[in-house]
């Protein structure tokens, strides 16, 4: 069963920074991580910090972007 969580201002800002586009030039055939990979990594870190399964996150309808639902870790 999913539970409601709330991001702090700092957590929200870190998540938004992780979701920004990554400008780059490919040198030697290696590209940096994509926006999606960066966002997933940020959610994984928040999941560890706040004790929820990062891949179960969904928005809470009618509330600000600071609130989300996710399955707690057991």
Q: What is the pLDDT of residue 74?
A: 81
* Tens of pLDDT, residues 12-60: 999 999 999 888 887 787 778 888 999 999 999 999 999 999 999 999 9
Distance CA 18, CA 13 (A): 9
| Backbone conformation region of residue 29, classed left if phi is above 0, alpha if psi is from -120 to 50, else beta | left
The H-assigned helical ranges of 1-74 are 9-18, 35-50
Q: What is the pLDDT of residue 62?
A: 96
Q: What is the pLDDT of residue 32?
A: 82
Q: Which residue has the tokens 């920004």?
A: 20
């Amino acid at each position: 069963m999913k539970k409601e969580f709330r991001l702090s201002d700092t957590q929200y800002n870190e998540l938004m920074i992780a979701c920004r586009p990554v400008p780059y030039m490919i040198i030697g055939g290696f590209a940096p991580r994509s926006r999606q990979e960066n966002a997933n990594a940020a959610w994984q870190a928040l999941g560890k910090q706040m004790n929820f399964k990062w891949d179960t996150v969904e928005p809470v309808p009618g509330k600000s972007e600071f609130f989300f639902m996710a399955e707690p870790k057991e």
